[in-house]
């Protein structure tokens, strides 16, 4: 990604972005790994993707930080790297370590069951569709932000999301109830 293509993306939370790179990494590591896991489908690949994205951000830290949204830059880097890897292998890897999606809320069995269903459905999608679904419904980005992160038009992001959801519905008709 060229320095001039840093996306606007989703604004950082209300708190200020740390001035130092290490502070930002410490603060955002878990969130970035969770996002990368949902895009890659594998914990090890997710951590590698985050590390690669952070390595690419480090020399540009001051410039990206001054533009106000290093999270969008990193998400785009992670997404682009996964799409590039997918183009080389055409691999739609299933999710093997599902416990990374389960969170401690309410009935633990229900959240694990839901996480397993989501992981199975996401695992059946091609990388680009998976990335757009994750950005839209799990990262809560707008279609304009998704278009910026994925390097496509808003209409293309909407279309890919629609087809992805349609595919997911076909893969799990019992989930529509």
Q: What CATH number does the domain containing 134 carry?
A: 1.20.140.160
Structural domain containing residue 74? 12-176
Ranges 2-16, 80-94, 119-133: which has the least confidence: 2-16
Say how far apart CA 130 and CA 134 lie, in whole Å.
6
| 5 assigned to some structural domain | no
Residue 91, burial from CB neighbour count under 10 angstroms (0-12, 13-18, 19+):
exposed
For residue 27, give every residue at least 6 positions away whose Cβ sits within 8 Å of its Cβ, in sequence order, or none. Answer: 18
| 72 assigned to some structural domain | yes
Q: Choose between 50 and 174: higher pLDDT.
A: 50
| pLDDT confidence tier of residue 8, bands split at 50, 70 and 90 | very low
Q: Specify the pLDDT at position 174.
A: 58
pLDDT at 97 exceeding the cut of 90? no
149 token code pair: 């992160």
| 51 assigned to some structural domain | yes
For residue 35, give every residue at least 6 positions away whose Cβ sits within 8 Å of its Cβ, in sequence order, or none. Answer: 75, 78, 134, 138, 139
| pLDDT confidence tier of residue 90, bands split at 50, 70 and 90 | low
CB 119 within 8 A of CB 160: no
pLDDT at 29 exceeding the cut of 70? yes
Say how far apart CA 127 and CA 115 lie, in whole Å.
19
Which pTM value belongs to this model?
0.52
Q: Choose between 171 and 93: higher pLDDT.
A: 171
CB 38 within 8 A of CB 134: yes
What would the pLDDT profile of 36-68 be if each residue is shown by its tens digit? 888 888 888 889 999 999 999 999 998 988 887
Residue with tokens 């496509």: 152
| 6 assigned to some structural domain | no
| 98 assigned to some structural domain | yes
Q: Specify the pLDDT at position 124.
A: 86
What would the pLDDT profile of 139-148 be if each residue is shown by its tens digit? 888 898 888 8
Number of domains in the chain: 1
Say how far apart CA 92 and CA 151 lie, in whole Å.
21
């Amino acid at each position: 990604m060229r320095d001039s293509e840093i996306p606007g993306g989703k604004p950082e939370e209300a708190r200020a972005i740390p001035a130092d790179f290490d502070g930002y990494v410490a603060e955002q590591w878990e969130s970035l790994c969770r996002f990368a896991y949902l895009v890659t489908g594998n914990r090890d690949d997710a951590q590698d993707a985050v590390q690669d994205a952070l390595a690419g951000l480090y020399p540009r830290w001051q410039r990206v930080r001054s533009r106000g949204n290093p999270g969008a830059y990193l998400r785009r880097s992670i997404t682009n790297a996964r799409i590039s890897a997918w183009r080389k292998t055409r691999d739609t890897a299933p999710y093997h370590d599902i416990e990374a999606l389960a969170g401690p809320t309410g009935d633990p069995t229900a959240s694990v069951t839901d996480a397993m269903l989501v992981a199975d459905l996401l695992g059946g999608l091609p990388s680009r569709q998976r990335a757009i679904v994750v950005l839209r419904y799990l990262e809560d980005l707008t279609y304009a932000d998704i278009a910026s992160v994925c390097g496509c038009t808003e209409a293309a992001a909407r279309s890919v999301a629609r087809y992805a959801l349609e595919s997911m519905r076909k893969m799990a008709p019992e989930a529509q109830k």
